[in-house]
Structure 1
Amino acid sequence: MPLALTPAARRIVQAVLYEAIAITAVGPAMAWLFDAPMASSLALALLLSSVALAWNWVFNGWFERWEARQAVKGRSWRRRLAHGIGFEGGLVVMLVPLMAWWLNTTLWAALLADLGIVAFFFVYAVAFTWAFDRVFGLPESARANPGNPHAEHA
């Protein structure tokens, strides 16, 4: 039985949990990949995470409003992939300039460096939202019967 949360609490829990796991994975990976001090890599991971946390709140709000207007309810893998592409695409636009500044490099070099991170986060975002929905249930926007936190997962 999924854990029921209000829509606002659900988005807060989802965003904070998503970013906490991300920092734990990305900070050490960036230190290793960029041969950078752990403190600098963790600071960059925290900065990137802060931007991502704000984007998560905004993007998921937009996505759920769009999703609520759809005739077909639920979250198919196609819809989950669209969510992942939209979320990660928005992050690339915001984070590449930030990474270029932090790493003192060009936008092109930052984009290339970000590609591995984007690939990881695309898979992570899709898997995380699937797992989160399994634990907390679908948001009202994706339920066949709004108001029923125990509606089936798509």
Structure 2
Amino acid sequence: MRTTKDRIRHTLGFELIGLVVFAPLASWLFGFELHEMGVIALAGSIIATVWNYLYNLLFDHAMIRIRGHSHKTPMIRVFHALLFEGGLLLLFLPMIAWHLGVSLVDAFMMDITMAVFYLVYAFVYNLLYDKVFPIPGIHPGQATAER
């Protein structure tokens, strides 16, 4: 299981890299000023940071209860990312519509686009994070071989 310090490093790295990449990309894609998309990205990042910490802690506890360890296979990573992004999708829709003054349909399309970006980003980030900062005592392939 990951330590609190490791979870904080994971969360902060995820959010900071995501902000640096997402805000300019979204500004260009959606045609809003960078500062407008920056506000959306920053507010979303703050909410996502808190959610990320709590969600991953709960998910890992569930993994340990169900599987006996917290190692995530690629399929579990897909499930993990889909659940995480689904919750954020519901939280961000009204905020996007209100802040940007767009319809709920337009906000939904923007939210889906953001979710797809962060879904792919979360999958890649977490795979790379697990390789750079492996869980102590878990060797690559060990958990898979135990199935």
Same fold per TM (> 0.5)? yes
3-state SS, counterpart of residue 138 of structure 2: coil
What residue in structure 1 maps to residue 42 of structure 2?
Answer: 46
Give the unaligned 5+ runs of structure 1: 139-148
Structure 2 match to 1:153: 140
Asked if the contact 2:36/2:100 (under 8 Å) is kept, the reply is no
**Counterpart among 93, 102, 123 of residue 105 in structure 1:** 102
Amino acid of the structure 2 residue aligned with 1:94: L
Identify which of 42, 53, 57 aligns with 2:53: 57
Q: Does 2:31 match 1:35?
A: yes
Partners of 2:27 and 2:67 in 1: how far apart?
Answer: 46
| CA distance in 2 between partners of 1:6 and 1:118 (Å) | 26
Instruction: Please state how far the C-alpha of 1:52 moved relative to its aligned partner.
Output: 0.8
AA partner of residue 115 (structure 1): I
Residue 113 (structure 2) aligns with: 116
1:9 aligns with 2:5: yes
Question: In the alignment, which residue of structure 1 is the partner of 2:14?
Answer: 18
Letter aligned with residue 67 of structure 1? M
> Between Structure 1 and Structure 2, which shows a larger proportion of helix residues?
2
- Separation in 1, partners of 2:2, 2:121: 24
Deviating above 6 A after TM superposition, structure 1's stretches of 4 or more consecutive aligned residues are none
Tell me the secondary structure at the aligned position of residue 102 of structure 2.
coil
* In structure 1, distance between residues paired with 2:44 and 2:2: 27
The 1-side partners of 2:24 and 2:30 are apart by 10
Deviation, structure 1 residue 12: 0.6
TM-score (norm 1): 0.84
Task: Name the amino acid aligned to 2:101.
Answer: N
Q: TM-score, normalised by structure 2?
A: 0.87
Structure 2, unmatched stretches of 5+, are 142-147
Q: 2:64 aligns with which of 57, 60, 68?
A: 68
Task: For residue 134 of structure 1, report the CA deviation from its aligned partner.
Answer: 0.8
| Alignment RMSD (CA, Å) | 1.7
Number of residue-to-residue matches in the alignment: 140
Question: What is residue 144 of structure 1 aligned with on the other side?
Answer: none
The residue that corresponds to 1:96 in the other structure is 93
**Which range moved further: 99-108 or 20-29?**
99-108
Deviations 1:97-119 (A, max 9, x none): 11111111232221111122111
